Amino acid sequence: MKKRHVFLFALLFVFMFFHTSLMAEFSFQVDLASRYIWRGFDLNPYKKPVIQPFVNYKLGNSGLSLNLWTSFSFENKEVNEIDFTVTYALKTIKNFSLKTGLIHYGWYFVDNFRFKDDTSHELFVSAGLPDVFLNPSITVYYDFTNGDGFYILLEIEDSLNLLESIGAYFSASLGYNEGQWLAEGVDPGFSDLNLGITLSFKIDNFQISPFANCTIVLLDAIGKENHFWYGISVSYKQGKD
C-alpha cells in the first residue's frame, strides 16, 4: 500500500511541476468509446462504454514527453486503469522518425491490489517514414513483467482535407503477438487487424473527432469475436500551430 501511495504522489508531482513550468507544451484529450479494445483483446467484455482521458507534456525541443492516461468503465463505474508513459523522440535524418519509451500499466483499483501483481511495464521502439505515402511505421513493444512477451504493430495512415477546418483520417494496422498476455503454450501469430476512420473538426485550439473502428481478431487465444467500436474524441492543444 505504501508503494502505491508513493508512486501516485510521484506522478502527481511530475505533472504539477511541468504544468507550472512548461504550460506551452501542454495538451489533453478525452475519448468516449463504445468499447475498450486493445491489441485485439476485449478489456470491457460486457460491452459497456468507457471514458478515457489523458494529458500530455512535451518538454520543449528536448524530444521528451510525458503522458498520463486513464480508463473509466460504465460497467463497474470505477477507474479501471491508469497508465504512465515516458517517450523520447530521437533526432534523425530527414523523413525518418524514431522514438523509444517506457509504459507503466496500473490496475490500482482491483480488490486486494498488489503492486507486483497488478502493474506491468513495457519498453517500446517505434520507427516511421512520415513523409512517405501512407506514413508506414513499425512499433515493437516488450513487456518485461506480467505481460511477458513481445507485440509488434505495423501501421499505415492517410488523411484528406475536406475543408479548411475539417479533415478525414484513415488508418490500418496489423498486430503480431509473440506471447504477450497469452496462456502458456499458445503459439505466437498475427493477432489483430484494425481498420479505422476519423473525421476531425477544428475550432480554435480544440479538435472534435468522431471515429469508427473495426478490429478483426486473427488469433483464437485472444478471442473468437470481431469488434466494431466507435466514439468521439475532444482534444485541446495549448499554443498556436
Domains with residue ranges and CATH for the chain: 2-237 (2.40.160.40)
The grid coordinates listed for 13 are 508531482
| Mean pLDDT taken over the chain | 88
Nearest to 40 by CA among 190, 156, 146: 190
At residue 153, does pLDDT exceed 60?
yes
Residue 22 pLDDT class (50, 70, 90 cuts):
very low
- 8-22, 45-59, 139-153, 159-173: lowest mean pLDDT where? 8-22
User: Mean pLDDT over residues 13-17, rounded?
Assistant: 50
Asked if the model's pLDDT at residue 21 lies above 70, the reply is no
Contact by Cβ (8 Å): 210, 234: no
The percentage of the chain sitting over the pLDDT mark of 90, rounded to a whole number, equals: 69
Distance of CA 206 to the CA centre of its chain: 20
Burial environment of residue 29 by CB neighbours within 10 A (0 to 12, 13 to 18, 19 or more): middle
The predicted-structure confidence for 228-241, as pLDDT tens digits, reads as follows 999 999 999 876 55
Taking the model in full, what pTM does it have? 0.86
